Amino acid sequence: MGKIYNVPRVKTDYFGRSRMMSTGSIDFNYLLGVNINDIILFNNSTQDMIDKNLPILPKNYSIFVINKDGEIQFKPYEYDPYRINVSTKDNIIINIESLG
């Protein structure tokens, strides 16, 4: 059975501005304990990969390693709401730090 990703809803406030309810890092807990090289981007996935229950990221999302084997990596300054920041040990994801 594939993992289901719930897309955040866009709501309108009293002033007519669009507000998107952001997703939390808890939505990506299925990535914990997975080798970072085994994770597949949405654009590279096929229906056969989905049927095999392989770890596939939602559309537009990417992974950025900010702590690799205890060494801090430099994070880009620009904000990207689709970037998943993780910590790894021997290329295995041990913690999801934040989104963006």
Q: Is 88 within the bounds of a domain?
A: yes
Is 31 a domain residue? Answer: yes
Residue environment code for 4-33, b if the CB has 16+ CB neighbours within 10 A, otherwise e: eeeeeeeeeeeeeeeeeeebeeebbeebee
Cα–Cα distance, 93 to 37 (Å, whole number) = 10
Total domains, the chain: 1
Residue 2 lies in a domain: no
36-83 per-position pLDDT tens digit: 999 999 899 888 988 898 898 988 899 999 999 989 888 777 878 888
Q: What is the largest CA-CA distance in the chain?
A: 49
Strands 71-72, 83-89: pairing kind: unpaired
At residue 100, does pLDDT exceed 80?
no
Residue-level pLDDT at 20: 57
Q: 99 pLDDT band (50/70/90 cuts)? A: confident
- Domain-embedded: residue 78: yes
Q: In the prediction, which pLDDT does 29 show?
A: 87
Average pLDDT rounded to a whole number, residues 9-38:
75
Residue range(s) defining the domain that contains residue 87: 10-99
* In contact, 98 and 22? CB cutoff 8 Å: no
In a domain, 81, yes or no: yes
Residue 4 belongs to a domain: no
Instruction: Tell whether 57 is covered by a domain.
Output: yes
